[in-house]
Amino acid sequence: MSTPIRAIAAGNWKMNGTVASTAEIEALVAGLGSEDPGCDVMICPPATLINIFAQIALGSRVEIGAQDCHANETGAHTGDLSAEMLAEAGATTIIVGHSERRQDHFENNETVRAKAEAAWRAGLKAIICCGESDEQRKAGEALEVVASQVVASLPEGATPENTTIAYEPIWAIGTGKTPTAADVAEMHANIRTTLNKIIGDTANEMRILYGGSVKPANADELMSVDNVNGALVGGASLKAEDFLGIIAAYKD
């Protein structure tokens, strides 16, 4: 019998936030207080804010993560940041393979796998994102596409401790559209089975997050779907009040 998976609500701020946004982290820390919210909580701000947010969140229930890293530790990679640099700044986790990175920066599964390995090399955890496009879903290819992304993006050595998977249908990101609970259940079961094939029973302990237009109003329903072990939240993580509304889905 496997232990229940502790969920995580992870906020991806994308390219939003300045030093003035420290007020939101302060409000999140204060809103959570010391009582167990029933899930882990993380904010991934732009890299410029990781250090200041990590200092504010120190000793609180909020972890700070990063949104991307380069696969190498050092070198001639203008504008890039290594996992080691992000760890030094205070990140505990790095999101890799977000669909915006895959689209805007032409990242493929191989790049994503190397970035997840880089996170581990720096002693950090990786959140590996996957998800189908609207065309792929309409063509009935969603399950196959996502399974093949998971197979090709997951490095050897992945464990529930060092890796989380985030399923984010591209068409649901920032659109206000969400899949039905039945579609989420089908996809998360598909990901679990795929992980089982790669890493065996240990995959039963690995977190699989849902992401795509999660809001306080739909969090209860989406977070109670089988094999959904938390949320990766974009827009609704920018305001502490909204994010706390999502985290509330995990209160007893």
User: For the window 181-220, what string marks contact with ligand PEP as x by the rule CB under 6 A?
Assistant: ------------------------------xxxx------
The DSSP symbol for 201 reads G
Rounded Cα distance, 168 and 210, in Å: 6
Smallest distance from the beta carbon of 232 to ligand PEP, in angstroms? Answer: 5
Rounded Cα distance, 97 and 89, in Å: 21
From the list 24, 63, 70, 98, the catalytic residue is 98
164 interacts with ligand PEP by CB under 6 A: no
232 interacts with ligand PEP by CB under 6 A: yes
98 is catalytic: yes
Token pair of 66, please? 């990063």
Specify the stretch interacting with ligand PEP by CB under 6 A; choose among 20-28, 57-65, 133-141, 166-174.
Answer: 166-174
Smallest distance from the beta carbon of 14 to ligand PEP, in angstroms? Answer: 6
Smallest distance from the beta carbon of 137 to ligand PEP, in angstroms? Answer: 16
Nearest CA to 21 out of 65, 72, 56, 70 is that of 56
The amino acid present at 75, given as its one-letter code, is G
Rounded Cα distance, 75 and 35, in Å: 43
174 interacts with ligand PEP by CB under 6 A: yes
Choosing from 7, 8, 9, 12, the residue that interacts with ligand PEP (CB under 6 A) is 12
Contacts of residue 238, defined as CB under 8 A and 6 or more positions apart, other chains included, come to 11, 13, 16, 17, 21, 24
26 is catalytic: no
Smallest distance from the beta carbon of 122 to ligand PEP, in angstroms? Answer: 22
Smallest distance from the beta carbon of 74 to ligand PEP, in angstroms? Answer: 29
Nearest CA to 220 out of 196, 195, 197, 246 is that of 246
168 interacts with ligand PEP by CB under 6 A: yes
CB nearer ligand PEP, residue 104 or residue 156: 104
CB nearer ligand PEP, residue 136 or residue 237: 237
Asked if 149 and 108 touch (Cβ cutoff 8 Å), the reply is: no
Task: List the Cα angle 150/153/156 in 5-degree steps.
Answer: 100
